[in-house]
Structure 1
Amino acid sequence: MSDWERYFQRMPTELELEEWDKWPDAGIGLLCGKQSRIVALDRDYDTKGTDALDRIIPWTPVRKRGAKGYTAFFRYSGEPSCSFNIGGARVLDVLSDGRQTLMPGTRHPDGHTYVYLTEDMLEEYEADDLPVLPPDFLQRVQATIAPYQTEADTKYQSRRATAPRDSTDRINTNLSAAAEFYSKLNQQALANPDLWVPRLIPTARRHGDGYRCIAIWRGAKNPNVGVHPSGIFDFGGNYGMTAIDLVMNSHQVPFARAVDALAELVPVEGLPDFIVPETFGSAAKAPQPVAVQNIMEQAAPDISRAPDISKPAPAVEQILLPPTTSEDAAPALPPFVVNPPGMLGELARWINATAPKSQPELAVAAAIALGSVLMARTYVSQFNNFTSLYFILVAKSTEGKEHPQAAIQHVLTEAGFPELIGGSGYTSAGAVFSQLLQAPAHLATIDEIGKMLKLSRAKGNSHGEAAIDKLVEAYGRVNGIMRPPTYSQMTLRQDQQVQARVVYNPAITLLGATTGNTFYSNLTDDLIKDGFLGRCIVVESTQPRQLINLKGRAAEVPFHILEWCRLVHISGQNLGDLAGATGADTKPTTIPLTFDDACEPLIQAFERKLNALKDKHEHEGVDVLLGRTLEKSLRLAMIACKAEKASNTVITTQHLKWAIEYVQHYDTRLLDAVTHSRTVNDFDEQMQRMIGYIKSVRKLTDSEPGRASLMAQGFMPRSKLLKLMKCKAKALTELVDTAIESKLITKTIENGLVECYVAA
């Protein structure tokens, strides 16, 4: 179609739609920007591993792919259309007003068909349900790729409202005022490394006329990053950086905060007023710049024996979430995983620093579990919330899901709280109650919780089912009393009768781990409806398979993490010598942790949103999964409050917003996964297996050249699928027809002969 740009101004008429119905081979294009209220980021190349751009592109539930790379969809909020080049090659297109993108199901003239990379499709979303890009996203992209660009590369970065009609249109090549400032700041920082490197880079050491530091963001141990007036280069990673990049990586802070800290120490003339933070320009007046102090406080929380912030901290205390070592690109992580509040971030970074394989999402969940058990039975909100939480960590087999469990147990032991470590599972309801009598607050780490769930529903295993039921009860009794079952004592003499013991405020923190196949294949209806799953936060890793880290890492726990544990636990709260010695059958000493009044509108708004989602999914019988979402968010907000500063006593809206975002993300993901992945019968299990083969077709091999060629392009030939499924042709046809009707796959005829399938 020519002149498609006219539909940015109006929707098509009925006559036009009738004409288009006569074009059976037509594809579908999405007009981006104001008309559709959708903006797309087009990464039109493949990467091996996570590169610098991938790390700053936010998470979104909808992505598609053509021949290579991917396109991610976000809600439009005024972003202009623009493009970014490196070495003359396009690395990123921001598709907004004046631009379009071809949608899944459309066949490209080169032969490939566009497909979704995510389970969710754009057609299932309203624009308001998509996440928005950060306000400074374009500036962050410019700053990230600037070290690799030539002057010619920058000419398409200028913002434009509409796309040019042809490639001969003139485009303004001048840098924006903000980009010009960032460029000057990086230039001045390189020219004067002594002004900022010793203050902002903890591992920096003098080397010739420059400095050497450690690339802690990728888990390095040796000082192989050179900082010199001629540039900054990571010799181990083989890439260059700007000064802003180095500050961001060394402290895992956002772009704007790194700029703020660097500008405190490096003078740059002619700062544009509209981007100057309040702290800019105060370096000459303040003995400790505000921005620098804020960054260093992230590494040294508010504890009496924290390391001196004026001295370089040990590298292990500053370690970033390292990039994946897989050959497959890791998806961008949600902001609440990349930068969790305070000590949760410190713990997550340490867990990843000591891990054989990086699992950032699982590390954050384990850090939360540590806070949960440390604060258990001690802190209570005005809404009668305590901090007990149940986590299920889901990852591929042998991909490092056990390490976060072991790391948290190690921290508890080193901090002097081994009594908080419970067993590795429960064999019966009596086992749950017995463990609570011995340790009314404890962490249960269950390595194969998927198998435990399966056995609990096995015929004749009433003890396993009772154990799950008792865990459900314990979760709800955390603000009350848990009593054992009553048995008849009619036949016993008086001296044989025993007084039943009770548990005040039972506080179990559960940290289970399993694989996706084991977990989802055992999600029966009763497990969902009895409320156990709804009480859990199911964190499924999005990381691809990785190569093991063979360098080895010291597992010594940083001192400030141990001190935070001791301060947060009741034994460090100066409540008397016996405050922390309360037994199970004695009501514990509690400390109020109050939600600020400003939190109440947020709570009510979130509950209204949850009620709407419950109504939407009630007919599917999975609305029960959202029954505890608000409660989990309130419990998590209490942990976030203490993670930011051990002395905090008031939960702010920032703590609550982060907690809501975290729990909402994983609960809605679980809702979608249960809806699509739960098996009710053998047919469902076969369907899931078939879809799995079709989705992973590019990773499969075949000795027949023709089939292998089609599979490499993302097409699953019917003959190959029949061989993989090991079923009769009639049974496969039934599966395929059902999947097509359910819009799980699409059928296509390749090379005019071969029937193939593509995952929707």
Structure 2
Amino acid sequence: MADKSVDGVTFSAAFLNSGEADRLHAKAEVEAERAAKLAQAAARAPNGGAYAADGPAPPVQGALPMPPGFVGALAQFIYEQAPLPVPEVAIVGALGLMAGIVGRAWHTPAPHAGLNLYVVLVARSAIGKEAMHSGIAKVITAAMMQCQVAGNFVDFNDYVSGPALVKACAANPCFVNVAGEIGHKFLAMSKDNDASMRSLRKVLTTLYSKSGPGNVAGGISYSSQENNVASMQSVAFSLIGETTPGTFYDSITDSMMRDGFMSRFCVIEYGGDRPEWNATPVEHPPRELVEHIARIMAHSDLAIGGDKFQEVAVSEGARATLDAFRLECHHAIIAAGDDERKRAVWNRAHLNALRVGALLAVGDNYLNPVVTAEQAEWAVMLLRHGVVSFLKRLDAGEVGEGSDGGREQKVLQVCRDFLLMPPDKLPSWLKHGKAMQEAGIVPRRYIQQKTQRLTAFENHNLGHTAALNMAIKTAMTNGNLLEVKKEPLVEQYAFFGQAYRVLL
């Protein structure tokens, strides 16, 4: 290093070199101290970092089985502490909490992705979705007694702009944001006239893939340099939230599907009704669970501080399961052709399954994590469940702006609903509704009323009526509907409007 002058004062090269040497020496001492603490923590960890519970958790009936191992025990507690217990709610909460803790310090094999997750729970109102929030809060509160940094891994703040989220990640490189009614946030991000929410969507899209070793997330530059935020390395931001079907699916636009935003999310839908009341909810998590998760938190904190990363290994059985799912996703994308929405649904399903499997492995043994065949099978089952549910919504024309085929299917579903309707539920304006049902005839007025508030029709660029006309025309062209002539409608049913006979 050469001599350097600052404000007329010259510093010799020897002086500058000695300062740099001192800085490097101090840095090396800090890194060595952190490495020693990691080694000591690993040596003290009971069972070699493996989770040991008192016994297997009782089975839970639901569309989704509980995950195996420690994450399953975590989900079981969230389930048992809920006044209205729902397995899907507990599973999303457990996965989100684990992703917030281990998202940065551990990563998958190639493509060396961190273990952060974006998960949305979709369920009807009043089924107990808030148990996800309360269960996570109880685990964090209990863990803070043994690990002071436990609260760093979870965040309940509401971020309303991209810069706000970037600043939060600059201050904390590994955490999960637990969002309430995330569907409203999706709705705001779908609007082109809200610059703040548009920037949030862009940042969310970027952060998903910035958690692995060596990944860099961009900072923020302002005109006032003191407000700038420097670029960040390996940011593991996770996001979980709950919402209702109408709010969530209506908010998704075609651009959200095309630009890869939606492909980053695991969408878990609970289609059941309100569960039975839990009269004896568990108040506190089991001691073994708290002790184990506190050890994982402490280990993760040391690894983050020392900028250390550990790869999660994959067993041969797990690799076979994950490779088969990757091939399934590959063929599904090809089969989707030019339908960008369906391509997006499958695009990152394999990567998310790999991340989920790795999360389960770290939960079971954070010092030597290996994804087992059982963990891989559960992860693939979870992602396939979400993909199939979302595709059904797409095909039914219930997602965002919809498609011509989706709107046709929705019209046909409305027609089927009319034909299966109990006689006492038929519209009062129909004089001979039962007879029309028996003849397989559906009034256009009924179809129009049932579709006028659906986003796929209401938000069509030509308006609801034009969208409905095109959907009915498509159904007639495809041989699914036939317009009934006016004369028999008037003579036989005293109906003076348009109606269609269902040919399915």
1:653 equivalenced with 2:373 (yes/no): yes
Tell me which residue corresponds to 2:221.
486
Amino acid at match of 2:201: I
Q: Distance in 1 between matches of 2:437 and 2:265?
A: 39
Task: Assess, with a 3 A threshold, how the Cα gap between structure 1 residues 686 and 646 changes in structure 2: closer, same or farther.
Answer: same
Q: TM-score, normalised by structure 1?
A: 0.49
Q: Identify the match of residue 321 of structure 1 among 60, 74, 98.
A: 60
Contact 1:422/1:443 (8 A) holds in 2:
yes
Q: Identify the match of residue 302 of structure 2 among 561, 579, 593.
A: 579
Q: Identify the match of residue 353 of structure 2 among 626, 633, 641.
A: 633
Amino acid at match of 1:503: M
Aligned-residue offset at 1:472: 1.1
Tell me which residue corresponds to 2:41.
none
Amino acid at match of 1:524: T
Q: Distance in 2 between matches of 1:682 and 1:600?
A: 37
Q: Distance in 1 between matches of 2:374 and 2:53?
A: 26
Tell me which residue corresponds to 2:11.
none
1:615 equivalenced with 2:334 (yes/no): yes
Aligned-residue offset at 1:380: 2.3
Tell me which residue corresponds to 1:680.
401
Q: Distance in 1 between matches of 2:265 and 2:475?
A: 30
User: Which range is displaced more, 450-459 or 733-742?
Assistant: 733-742
Aligned-residue offset at 1:391: 0.4
Tell me which residue corresponds to 1:670.
390
Q: Distance in 1 between matches of 2:53 and 2:325?
A: 39
Q: Secondary structure at the match of 1:344?
A: helix
Aligned-residue offset at 1:373: 1.4
Task: Assess, with a 3 A threshold, how the Cα gap between structure 1 residues 682 and 473 changes in structure 2: closer, same or farther.
Answer: closer
Tell me which residue corresponds to 1:433.
166
Task: Assess, with a 3 A threshold, how the Cα gap between structure 1 residues 342 and 439 changes in structure 2: closer, same or farther.
Answer: same
Q: Secondary structure at the match of 1:619?
A: coil
Residue pairs, 1:525-604, within 5 angstroms: 525-543=254-272, 545-546=273-274, 549=277, 551=279, 553-569=281-297, 571-572=298-299, 579=302, 582=305, 588-596=307-315, 599-604=318-323
Task: Assess, with a 3 A threshold, how the Cα gap between structure 1 residues 716 and 486 changes in structure 2: closer, same or farther.
Answer: farther
1:395 equivalenced with 2:115 (yes/no): no
Task: Assess, with a 3 A threshold, how the Cα gap between structure 1 residues 588 and 675 changes in structure 2: closer, same or farther.
Answer: farther
Q: Secondary structure at the match of 1:385?
A: coil
Deviations 1:564-594 (A, max 9, x none): 312332x147xxxx71672xxxx62223322
Q: Secondary structure at the match of 1:443?
A: strand
Amino acid at match of 1:523: I
Contact 1:478/1:507 (8 A) holds in 2:
yes
Tell me which residue corresponds to 1:721.
446
Q: Secondary structure at the match of 1:338?
A: coil
Q: Identify the match of residue 75 of structure 2 among 333, 348, 363.
A: 348
Q: Secondary structure at the match of 1:394?
A: strand
Contact 2:121/2:243 (8 A) holds in 1:
yes
Deviations 1:345-376 (A, max 9, x none): 32333333333434322322222222211212
Q: Distance in 1 between matches of 2:241 and 2:323?
A: 31
Higher helix share: 2
Q: Distance in 2 between matches of 1:559 and 1:656?
A: 28
Identity %: 18
Residue pairs, 1:305-384, within 5 angstroms: 318-321=57-60, 333=63, 337-383=64-110, 384=112
Count, aligned residues: 424
Deviations 1:720-746 (A, max 9, x none): 725844989999776544445568879
Contact 1:388/1:508 (8 A) holds in 2:
yes
Contact 1:319/1:353 (8 A) holds in 2:
no
Aligned-residue offset at 1:523: 1.6
What residue ranges of structure 1 are gaps of 5+ in the alignment? Answer: 1-300, 310-316, 323-331, 490-495
Q: Distance in 1 between matches of 2:316 and 2:237?
A: 29
Deviations 1:175-210 (A, max 9, x none): xxxxxxxxxxxxxxxxxxxxxxxxxxxxxxxxxxxx
What residue ranges of structure 2 are gaps of 5+ in the alignment? Answer: 1-46, 145-149, 453-463, 494-498
Contact 1:396/1:516 (8 A) holds in 2:
yes
Contact 2:84/2:278 (8 A) holds in 1:
no
User: Which range is displaced more, 409-418 or 531-540?
Assistant: 409-418
Q: Distance in 1 between matches of 2:427 and 2:320?
A: 62
Contact 1:444/1:510 (8 A) holds in 2:
yes
Q: Secondary structure at the match of 1:501?
A: coil
Deviations 1:243-296 (A, max 9, x none): xxxxxxxxxxxxxxxxxxxxxxxxxxxxxxxxxxxxxxxxxxxxxxxxxxxxxx
Amino acid at match of 1:539: I
Deviations 1:16-53 (A, max 9, x none): xxxxxxxxxxxxxxxxxxxxxxxxxxxxxxxxxxxxxx
Contact 1:382/1:594 (8 A) holds in 2:
yes
Contact 2:127/2:275 (8 A) holds in 1:
no
Q: TM-score, normalised by structure 2?
A: 0.71
1:451 equivalenced with 2:184 (yes/no): yes
The CA RMSD measured in Å over matched residues stands at 4.2
Task: Assess, with a 3 A threshold, how the Cα gap between structure 1 residues 743 and 642 changes in structure 2: closer, same or farther.
Answer: farther
Q: Distance in 2 between matches of 1:379 and 1:646?
A: 9
Q: Secondary structure at the match of 1:406?
A: helix
Q: Distance in 1 between matches of 2:440 and 2:350?
A: 43
Tell me which residue corresponds to 1:62.
none
